[in-house]
Structure 1
Amino acid sequence: MQFLSIRAGLARPLDAAPDSLAPGELLWIDCRYEEARAWVADVHRLTGTFVFEDHLLDAENPAHPSYFDSTQNYELIVFRGLALRSPGEDRPEDEGPTRVRTRPTVFFLLPGCLVTVRAPDSRTVPALRERLLNAAPGRQRLPDSPEALMLRLLNNMVDRYLELRHPLTAQLERWQRRLLDPRRPFRDWYQLLEARGELRKLEQLCEEQLDALQEWLDDRLELEHQDGDAGAATGPGALSDALQVRANDVVSHIHRVHAHARRLQDSLESAIQLHFSSTTHRTNEIMRTLTTITAIFMPLTLITGIFGMNFEFIPGLHARAGFWIAIGAMAAIALLLVSWFRARRYLSAPSAQRRSRPARPSDGGAP
């Protein structure tokens, strides 16, 4: 458990919770999952706030979805952040679909205090802590309220989701190339279904995040109206204009991730449909070729069958040149059918068909 005090534009670490909060001081208590209850006594001593047992259980649950709840004294926001792979866990591109792994980060917003409960290997929270400690006094504006600090953390967490767009897009392009490759039949349908499931999982995560943040913003807006003066953006429960802009920016980033996940799903579905259309087209080409060959050999088979009948008297059967006459007739019939089929473009290649197809005149061209 780590303590960080922000006051007068300066952030400094603390070894333990202070005896009291000074006017204008912001205290950040950062805990891990196994320390989810270690801060309760300090928060009660500093703010006089009791935390409900159900909310503590929510903070200890690593599978909890994004969620918002509020009481008269504090607010609870559960936000699932992306668990990125460490550099040593990099895998080959063709090993399988990119996994969307998430862990919840729990925020308790109290008067003058923010409590975060996170995974031990989280990189977003320690990175922001180091950035605040290394901020030059007077050059970088530090957060002065629990809401401002939480929105900075949320913004960094959502940026991690934006970084996920490139590997997901690259993976989708690989799937599209493999689906539309005519030289090798596609067989990895199980991995394709897993990839589509990961995209749906990402879309569902974004929807849960949007619901949680929107409920928080709506709750703050209701508290602002209850104060009796909607223009007083600094009253209890009200968000300043700067915080509203930052909150809307976080929401817009989540909308971008959600829209990108939806586009990837649509592109994947289109690639699957193109794959089946291409397979059907190749099957039709094969069947057309086989049908044409059958049509060429059908009259030849008829001639062969006629002269193969077991009749004693068949015209031309005992003629000295009968065999060559039959062969010549069969060859002539075959050449005639081949020429006719090629004229009908039944035997031409698709590229030849496209070259021989007349171009359509443009609507805006000259008459």
Structure 2
Amino acid sequence: MDIYHVNNGQVAPVPSPIAQAPTQGFLWLDATHDEVAADTGAWREAVERTTGVHIYDPHLTDVTNLSHPSYFDSTQDYAMVVFRKLALDGNGEPETAEDMVRKRKIPPALTRLATRPVSFLLMENALVTVHATNSRTIEAARNRLLEHRNKRDGAHASRPPGSPYELMLRLLNAMVDQYLALRQPLTGQIDRWQRALLNPRNPFNDWSALLDARIELRKLDHLCEGQRDAMQELRDHFVDSIDDSPNSRAKDLMLVRVNDIMEHITRVLNHAQRLEATIESAVQIHFSAMAHRTSEIMRTLTVITALFMPLTLITGIFGMNFIDMPLIKDKAGFWITMGMMAVMVVVLLFFFRRKRYLDDQGRDGER
């Protein structure tokens, strides 16, 4: 477990175990799921010795649960937030063989929707984070904090977080921004599927991938709803717990940050719902186009059948086994019959044209 002390714009690593908790500033205790799962009791004792706060057994179980959804809970001593972030480095939840086979069929933009939980234990003067190994978001935040040790204050220098609340909200904001970055590749993939669905020359056969993509988008929809609910409860906790009089400005800043995170989550949620609706619309248009093409084929076959029905009738009549029939012994009988059949075809075509049975075909031919 790594421990950092943030105080008055200064960030310093603290050796573990810490002898005495600092009276100014706050501590950031960072651990991985593997470290906590290796010995949960020892980890809880180390956190309690450093912060003076005892973590309850249900929350300790939640911290080590890799399948836990986004969640918020609070006690008198601390508040707990579980937030599911994108597993950008591929270290997501354990997958079954069926999941691996299915994800190989999904485009890369959708396979990036694998997630894993990050747990925050928010205390008065400390923030405890538990995440998967090699978390890029946590690593980037740690590096930015450590860079403040070698920077002088300047007009454009960014300041380190002033409280555990602010540090947690910065981390949450970075995690939500990862979802916002997925909007463009997801939209591009859906657009490619739309063009493939409406391409009459190449029949669309990748239905399993399309169904799996819809399932992934539905999972993203549920994921964002859980994240938004957790942030709403966190916002209510800020409103109820932070005193108005001495920290009114700090409270306003925290609420602004929470509202910004919730707005980002809502944007991702709306985008996922739009993509899901786009897939459904594209599938409906695809089957409508197929039905239209089938209708055109059936109409063409009907016209051909209608043209040949009188001709078949004539040939059937002249094929009867009668001795005396008109035009049978006439030298011009064959040509007279063929002329009559041609005239009937022309008359039927003219009739079909007047009835607009061939209008669509005529316009398609002009195009």
Please, what TM-score do these two structures have when normalized by structure 1? 0.88
**1:14 CA drift (Å):** 2.5
CA contact (8 A) 2:67 2:116 kept: yes
C-alpha contact (below 8 Å) 1:105/1:119 kept by paired residues: yes
Q: Which moved more, 1:95-104 or 1:119-128?
A: 95-104
1:306 deviation in Å?
1.0
The match for 1:72 is 76
Number of the residue aligned with 1:246: 257
Deviations 1:336-357 (A, max 9, x none): 222333444433555716979x
Aligned-residue offset at 1:239: 5.9
CA contact (8 A) 2:105 2:209 kept: no
Partner of 1:260: 271
Establish whether residue 172 from structure 1 lines up as the match of residue 190 from structure 2. Answer: yes
Q: Tell me what 1:128 maps to.
A: 141
Could you say which structure has the higher helix fraction?
2
Residue type of the alignment partner of 2:173: N
Partner Cα separation in structure 1 for residue 342 and residue 311 of structure 2: 9
Report which stretch shifted further, 152-161 or 108-117.
Answer: 108-117
Aligned length: 343
Contact in 2 for aligned 1:233/1:240 (Cα 8 Å): no
Residue in structure 2 matched with residue 49 of structure 1 by the alignment = 53
CA contact (8 A) 2:238 2:251 kept: no
Question: Using the alignment, how far apart are the partners of 2:195 and 2:362 within structure 1?
Answer: 21
- 1:190 aligned to 2:208? yes
| Percentage of matched positions with identical amino acids | 49
**1:233–1:241 CA contact under 8 A, matched in 2:** no
Rounded to whole Å, the distance in 2 between the matches of 1:108 and 1:39 is 13
Partner of residue 275 from structure 1, selected from 279, 286, 307: 286
Q: What per-residue deviation string (whole Å, max 9, x for no partner) do you get for residues 116-150 of structure 1?
A: 10010211000111011113342221112111100
Taking only aligned residues, the RMSD between alpha carbons, in angstroms, comes to 2.2
Distance 2:250 2:44 in 1: 26
Change (3 A) 1:59 1:7: same
Structure 2 counterpart of 1:10: 10
Displacement of 1:85 in angstroms is 4.8
d(CA) in 1 for partners of 2:81 and 2:362?
60
Closer, same or farther: CA 336–110 of 1 in aligned 2, 3 Å: same
CA contact (8 A) 1:21 1:112 kept: no
Change in Cα spacing, 1:293 to 1:351, as seen in structure 2 (3 Å) is closer
SS of 2:72 mapped into structure 1 = strand
Structure 2: any 5+ residue segments left out of the alignment?
91-103
Moved more, 194-203 or 33-42: 33-42
TM-score (norm. length: structure 2): 0.88
User: After the TM superposition, which residues 206-355 of structure 1 pair with which residues of structure 2 at under 5 Å, given as runs?
Assistant: 206-224=224-242, 231-232=244-245, 234=247, 240-350=251-361, 352=363
Question: Measured at CA, do residues 154 and 215 of structure 1 come closer, stay the same or move farther in structure 2, by a change above 3 Å?
Answer: same
